[in-house]
Amino acid sequence: MSTQTDARFWDRTSRRYAAGKIVDQAGYERTLERTRALLRSSDRVLELGCGTGTTALRLAGHVLSYVATDISTGMIAIAEEKRAADPVAGLSFCNATADMLSPADMQFDVVMGFNYLHLVRDLPGTLGRIHALLARNGRFISKTPCVGDMNPLIRHALLPAMRALGKAPYAGIFRAADLCRSIRAAGFDVVATEGHATRGNDNRPYIVAHKR
């Protein structure tokens, strides 16, 4: 298993993913509203794991520039189709991961990762690269499933079975407390941890962190 395997999984499922509905639409809208309140019109924003670009298209009009990236070429192709149908100034899509971006070539005021950190294979390394990509006083915003806080049957039985059958990608298993510790260890101050879910248990903490 590798990042190439992950990319192929998302390429295969990109059209089905795009056709799916957001399970908790109200919770998603709450996240968008909270994020807009944190953004400034002068911000240069990077979104990692943008999927088919839904969030990017909703937020990009509120900032100076917005680069949205994803590991999957299939996801980016759909995002580009959406952008062509509904153009947003300053928004660009790119097939890339955090590791492919050079801090020497680009710096951002805000880096965001929604439903992203649990999918990376090297969490400390990814958080370190995010820290490097952020300009002085930069902000990192994350909202991702913490599988370690979910029902044990999910992490010990269902998820491994789905991965073995090719029905699920790699997913890191950590708790919200572990994630916050990892973010702090990467050189951030965690300034907010919130729950935005309006349905079921909230195992996707919305985390705001500032670069030290």
pLDDT in tens, 66-78: 999 999 999 999 9
- β-partners of residue 210 are 139, 189
Q: What is the mean pLDDT of the chain?
A: 93
The angle formed by the CA atoms of residues 50, 90 and 96, to the nearest 5 degrees, is 35
How buried is 24 (Cβ within 10 angstroms: 0-12 exposed, 13-18 middle, 19+ buried)? Answer: middle
Cα distance from N-terminal residue to C-terminal residue, the chain: 34
CB 44 within 8 A of CB 65: yes
Q: Which residue has the higher pLDDT, 127 or 152?
A: 127
Q: What percent of the chain has pLDDT above 70?
A: 92
Sheet hosting strand 206-211, strand order edge to edge: 91-95, 65-70, 44-48, 108-114, 134-143, 206-211, 188-194
* Distance between CA atoms of residues 60 and 112, nearest Å: 12
**Alpha-carbon span 50 to 69, nearest angstrom:** 6
* Parallel, antiparallel or unpaired: strands 65-70 and 206-211: unpaired
Q: What is the pLDDT of residue 169?
A: 79
Task: Show me where the domains of the chain are located.
Answer: 3-202
Question: pTM of this prediction?
Answer: 0.92
> pLDDT-derived band of residue 134, with 50, 70 and 90 as boundaries?
very high
Residue 49 has pLDDT above 80, yes or no: yes
Q: What is the pLDDT of residues 14-27, one digit of tens each?
A: 999 999 999 999 99
Q: Bridge-partner residues for 93, per DSSP?
A: 68
Which CATH architecture best describes the domain 3-202? 3-Layer(aba) Sandwich (3.40)
Model pLDDT, residue 47? 98
Q: Is the pLDDT of residue 179 over 70?
A: yes
